[in-house]
Amino acid sequence: MTTTVAVRPLTITACGVVSPAGLGLGALEEALRSGVDDYTAPDNPFEGAVDGYPPRPLWAVPDLRVAEHLGRKGLRHIDRFTMLGLIACKLALDESGTALTDEDRADTGVVMATNTGSLVSMLEVGRDTLLQEKPYLVNPARFPNVVTNACTGQIAIRNSLTGVNVVVSGGQAAGLAAVRFARTAIGDERSRRLLVGGVEELSQVAAWGWHKSGALHEDAPVGEGSAVFLVEDAEAASTAGRSGLADLLACEVGYYGAGDSEWRARGLRSCVERALERSGVGADDVDVVSLGATNHRRLELLEDRVVQEVLDRPVPRVRVSEVLGELYSASVPLQIAAVLALWREPADHARTALVTSVGGDGNAGCLVVRECR
């Protein structure tokens, strides 16, 4: 007989969001409630994709004035992917309202969800090594951008953070794996608090990949963005007098095979049921579900069906990719951010949300989020 262990909550004390809706939870809330229809594709330096972008909606972060957020020094060779993550982290740290001491910096780490890092940087360097005269015309300044942990490294360097520094690669469900890792790192006292989130950039190569794969509905948009949360042990935060936005309760994620959709459905159902049980939350206590497979052929209906079967009643759904576009490995962080954005409107009770994810690679999972009061 398997014994289910109750989870120790983590608290989100601050949040930074960079998305096609703009910067911050306020802009995201407005977009979720009213929608935005004038997103545009970014100016992208990669020229290797055929005929530019594919013929589908493309939603980029608007008017990204990097220097206003990060200053002008040290950005010359940093790519857009890393800049999105850096700005989201700065927004989260600024929102916390507390200047980090040397002790804080030594005890603060970074856990970011991604899949490959920047595809643009990888392909630019790869192309140059094949087409340019070696080694003289291959720009060495671009090499650091091709490693998967380039973004987390820059976040740590620019903020002098010397705690755990990890990138989690896990496709659509990478954000859930990042939350799981964060819980382990804080529980093992490897860091006292962590910047946890994810980042994805809009590029010609990624947009063509989605377009040619047929994984998304024909008119589904492709987007970009980053959401980062400052997270610490809930009990420690409360003892120190730090208020939170929400508690991250149980997070369950696993691999259930990419071929058999029913096997994936059973896996997702198991994750949802186990997460609720470990959180001490009943199906009747769930106020909203933030879905991750919206606009995915075959997976969208599967995810919605599993949620309906487990909860067995109508529960409001949040479909963030309808507003921000397909965000892939940044989906879960922005699904969480969407819940926090909607919770800016007060309610008469502490609300509870499910954040679900199921990907074409066979990964699936669920996170329970509870509003702090």
* Domain encompassing residue 57: 10-239
3-state secondary structure of 284: helix
Same domain, residue pair 117 and 27: yes
pLDDT tens digits, one per residue of 3-33: 577 889 999 999 999 999 999 999 999 999 9
What pLDDT was estimated at residue 131? 79
| Of the residues 239, 261, 276, the one at which a domain ends | 239
Domain annotation covers residue 1: no
Domain annotation covers residue 4: no
Domain annotation covers residue 363: yes
pLDDT tens digits, one per residue of 92-108: 999 998 778 889 899 99
Domain annotation covers residue 3: no
- Residue 150's nearest CA partner among 106, 112, 195 is 112
CATH of residue 324's domain is 3.40.47.10
What pLDDT was estimated at residue 55? 87
What pLDDT was estimated at residue 43? 52
Q: Fill in the amino acid letter for 284.
A: D
What is the full DSSP assignment across 116-163? SS-HHHHHHHHHHHHHSPTTTTS-GGGGGGGSTTHHHHHHHHHHT--S
Instruction: Give the position of tokens 């206590």.
Output: 285
Environment class of 338 (CB within 10 Å of its CB; exposed 0-12, middle 13-18, buried 19+): buried
Q: What is the pLDDT along the chain (373 residues), one digit of tens a residue?
A: 455 778 899 999 999 999 999 999 999 999 999 876 655 555 544 344 435 888 888 898 987 888 778 887 877 778 888 899 999 999 999 999 877 888 989 999 999 998 887 777 767 777 777 777 766 677 777 767 777 888 899 999 999 999 999 999 989 999 999 999 999 999 999 999 999 999 999 988 889 999 999 999 998 999 999 999 999 999 999 988 888 999 999 999 999 987 778 889 999 999 999 999 999 999 999 999 999 999 999 899 999 999 999 999 999 999 999 999 999 999 999 999 999 999 999 999 999 999 999 999 999 999 999 999 8
Same domain, residue pair 156 and 197: yes
| Token pair for 128 | 């140059």
What is the full DSSP assignment across 72-120? STT-TT--HHHHHHHHHHHHHHHHH--PPPHHHHHTEEEEEEESSS-HH
Domain count across the chain: 2
- Is the peptide bond between 42 and the residue preceding it cis, with omega within 30 degrees of 0? no
Domain annotation covers residue 5: no
Ramachandran region, residue 257 (left: φ > 0; alpha: ψ -120 to 50; beta: rest): left
Domain annotation covers residue 197: yes
Start-to-end CA distance of the chain, whole Å, equals: 36
Same domain, residue pair 141 and 271: no
Same domain, residue pair 215 and 261: no
